[in-house]
Amino acid sequence: MDNNTPQKSIHERVLERIKGGEVSMHSHWYFVLRGALLAVGIIALALTVFFIFSFIIFALRVSGVWFMPVFGWRGFGEFIWSLPWLLIVVSLVFIIILEILTRHYALAYRQPLLYSALFIIAIAALGSVAFAQLPLHRSFLLKANENKLPVAGFLYRGFALQEQEHIYPGVVREMASDGFQLQTRRQEILRVLITQDAKLPYEKITVGNFVIVFGERDEGVVRAMGVRLLDSETWEHGPGFGRHMMTSPPSYQPFPTMPMQ
């Protein structure tokens, strides 16, 4: 090529490369498949977020941590301290990834990030509530207890089945002047002493009540900072669920019954 040869325009050069077979267009199905993969990825991620959120709520209820905020600042502190922060961080990471994936769509990127993030969080919350209505977590928990849940078993054993310090769910077996005897799901008998500052329910505590006690334990005695009554439905699948199937720890000798005054 000498200096007198006019230089080709951009469109001529590009057309030459196209006609020369140097480049070829992707097929229509390539983009259909890509779009489908993106959609499947978003759905899979959303379902994972629903599962994790609903599991967090389930684990908090079964461990009894869910009920702690009613016991004042100490109970609220216990609640915050006992939250499964690792799972919460993992959920937030998944939500961020969801946000990034959905921003491929005009409906998402045309709105400020705050709106789409709030929308995703709202959907995640609603989806989790719907997910929680299913008996899935309860059945997975029982399977995890028997080591029959290969993948997520560690989640249930680690977060839902772990006994929480300061939280004692059980059934009132006997009343005493300074408290009552509590039988836990593991058939342990604890003596619950009600302190002066303890937060108590409006209704009177009686034998047979399902309760959750918040307090400090010393051997077989719990100094209660708060007691809350549980209805039978909440008790059935609530605090301590699944623990009755675990091997009981060495049981404490029950304290002698205190005479009623």
Partner 1 sequence: MPSLTDEEIASRVQRGSRDDFGILMERYEAKMLRYAHKFLFGYDEAEDLVQEVFLKAYINIQSFNIKRRFSPWLYRIAHNEFLNAIKKKGKEPLPFFDPDTLFPHPIAAATADSDLHKQELRSELDQYLGKLDARYREPLVLYFFEEMSYREIADILQIPVSTVGVRLKRGLDYLRKFYK
Which residues in this chain contact partner 1 in the complex, by CB under 8 A?
9-15, 17-19, 23-28, 30-31, 103, 106, 109-115
Rounded to a whole number of angstroms, the minimum distance from the CB of residue 97 to partner 1 is 14
Whichever of 119 and 255 has its CB closer to partner 1, that residue is 119
Whichever of 8 and 244 has its CB closer to partner 1, that residue is 8
Distance CA 227, CA 193 (A): 11
**Cβ neighbours of residue 58 under 8 Å, at least 6 residues apart?**
132, 137, 138, 141, 160
Residue 208 — left, alpha, or beta (φ > 0 → left; ψ -120 to 50 → alpha)?
left
Whichever of 118 and 129 has its CB closer to partner 1, that residue is 118
Rounded to a whole number of angstroms, the minimum distance from the CB of residue 87 to partner 1 is 25
Rounded to a whole number of angstroms, the minimum distance from the CB of residue 116 to partner 1 is 9
- Give me the half-sphere count of Cα atoms (radius 13 Å) on the Cβ side of residue 147: 1
Rounded to a whole number of angstroms, the minimum distance from the CB of residue 113 to partner 1 is 5
Whichever of 12 and 236 has its CB closer to partner 1, that residue is 12
**Residue 10 CB: number of other CB atoms within 10 A?**
8
The kind and range of the H/E element at 230 are strand 221-230
Task: Render 46-97 in DSSP notation, one character per residue.
Answer: HHHHHHHHHHHHHHHHHHSGGGGGGGHHHHHHHHHHHS-HHHHHHHHHHHHH
* 180, amino acid identity: F
116 in Cβ contact with 102 (< 8 Å): yes
Rounded to a whole number of angstroms, the minimum distance from the CB of residue 104 to partner 1 is 8
Whichever of 106 and 151 has its CB closer to partner 1, that residue is 106
Rounded to a whole number of angstroms, the minimum distance from the CB of residue 95 to partner 1 is 15
- Could you tell me the sign of the dihedral formed by the alpha carbons of 7, 13, 17, 18, in that order? negative
Whichever of 17 and 148 has its CB closer to partner 1, that residue is 17
Of 249, 252, 244, 243, nearest in space to 189 by CA: 252
Distance CA 165, CA 214 (A): 9
Whichever of 26 and 204 has its CB closer to partner 1, that residue is 26
Rounded to a whole number of angstroms, the minimum distance from the CB of residue 15 to partner 1 is 5
